[in-house]
Structure 1
Amino acid sequence: MSFTGFTNEDFDVFSIDGLEPRMEGLKTQIRPKLEALGEEISPTLSTLTGDEMFYHVAKHARRTINPPKDTWVAFANNKRGYKQHPHFQIGLWETHVFIWFAVIYEAPFKQEFATTLLKNIENIQSMIPSDFVWSLDHTKPDVIKMDELNRVELEKMFHRLETVKKAEILCGMTISREQAVSMSQEEWTNVLNHIFDKLTPLYKLS
């Protein structure tokens, strides 16, 4: 299967009540698309980063009560997992698609990465496009717009990554459900290539 885009039916999965019914919806409706994205995007990211990238589709295996509010495919240079490594993600909430570069709380190198970010803050300000967004918690849909951040606020985010044990940092773009369902296969290819191209310097800093 090749990835042709997302539909309203994909987003509707997150309004299914109950863990098992929603998990079934994820498996049948969304997971095949995430697998297709994994197959298609891994070679692109391998070329951009210079590392062989492997894809990991979220299984939500630890959930016993609460149904997932989002799902994703992650890309890392490790075959066995991604959470401890700098990685990229493409995924969905009920309201939007997210495309991230991510360093999440399991990563053991967060302090060193935060120090590198602080040293390169001027480069980051110039290389991250103004319409990109940041997140400080991958489990919440809230984002901070790049064009609303000044240098001091960026520094605060990077210091937080350095000093707070559970801190995370993600950078990328979100695309509203309405826009996402209207995009063609070609538009998705162009958008994903553009976003990952702009995020690769952050990966290389990590």
Structure 2
Amino acid sequence: MERFTKESFAVFQVEGLEARMEAIREDVQPVFATLGQKISDYLTQKTGEIYYVHIAQHRRRTIHAPDNTWVAIGRNKRGYKMEAHFQLSLWEDRLFIWLSLIDQPKNKAKMAEYLLNHQTDIMSLPTDFVVSGSHLVSDYVALADSQSILERFVQVKKSEYQIGRMLMKEEVLATPDLSQVILETIEQLYPLWNVLETKNV
């Protein structure tokens, strides 16, 4: 499967942890697997390096069902949170295509300093890009209004920074070739990711 459907978004209306996870495994994770592999193959072809697909399993949850789910693509086989990585994050009403720095990645301070000192690199990205300060909420701000999120990322140890594109549910469902939009977004984010990863050594 490489297309999200109405059922993909409807999984977040399913009551109960086990029932929702079953719906996520059936209606979302196969799409994540296909799209994640396309991103991985694209990056491998571009760089010559191996990239790994990490689909969120939400194993730490014991009571509350997740209100979003995601797939992350990065160079570390063991996990993705320790580095700058690409991520598709699905919510009940939207999809994010992110370059993500979450959960205190290795050398966060160096990456934050670079972002602060090279804001022209950020502002040169497409004007429809958005920024988020937490992967746990669907809140975001327009790229032009993201200065405060960047400053917090620099100043606060446990802060996060995500930048990329947001597509509403209706746009996702109406897009004939979603993978093309995703790969175009990854291509636009790649130069920034590449520089950040040179700081993460």
Give yes or no for TM over 0.5: yes
- Where structure 2 has 5 or more consecutive residues not aligned to the other structure, the ranges are 197-201
Q: Is 1:130 the counterpart of 2:127 in the alignment?
A: yes
User: Does the Cα contact within 8 Å between 1:105 and 1:165 map onto a contact in 2?
Assistant: no
Q: 1:195 aligns with which of 185, 189, 197?
A: 185
Number of aligned residues:
196
Give, in whole Å, the separation in 2 of the partners of 1:87 and 1:47: 17
C-alpha displacement of 1:45: 2.1
Deviation at 1:72, TM superposition (A): 1.1
Deviation readout 1:132-182 (Å, 9 max, x if unpaired): 000000000001111x32xxx52x433321221210000001111111111
Q: 65-74 vs 33-42, which deviates more?
A: 33-42
CA distance in 2, matches of 1:56, 1:132: 24
User: What secondary structure is seen at the aligned counterpart in 2 of 1:170?
Assistant: strand
Is contact 1:134-1:171 (8 Å) kept? yes
Matching residue of 1:21: 19
The percentage of aligned residue pairs carrying the same residue is: 37
Alignment of 1:43-192 (within 5 A): 43-48=41-46, 51-126=49-124, 128-146=125-143, 148-149=144-145, 154=147, 156-184=148-176, 187-192=177-182
Contact 1:136 1:167 in 2 (8 A): yes
Instruction: For 2:82 and 2:137, locate their aligned partners in 1 and report how far apart those are by CA, in whole Å.
Output: 19
* Structure 2 CA distance for aligned equivalents of residues 57 and 163 of structure 1: 30
Q: CA deviation at 1:10?
A: 0.7
For 2:191 and 2:62, locate their aligned partners in 1 and report how far apart those are by CA, in whole Å: 38
The 3 A distance-change label for structure 1 pair 40 and 123 is closer
State the distance in 1 between where 2:82 and 2:31 align. 25
Separation in structure 1 between the aligned mates of residue 178 and residue 120 of structure 2, nearest angstrom:
30
1:59 is paired with a residue whose SS is coil
Q: TM-score, normalised by structure 1?
A: 0.90
- The C-alpha deviation readout for 1:79-128, integer Å capped at 9, x for no partner, is 110011110011210011111000002313111101111221123212x1
Return the TM-score normalized by structure 2.
0.92
Q: Which residue of 2 aligns with 1:35?
A: 33
For 1:49 and 1:192, how far apart are their aligned partners in 2? 18
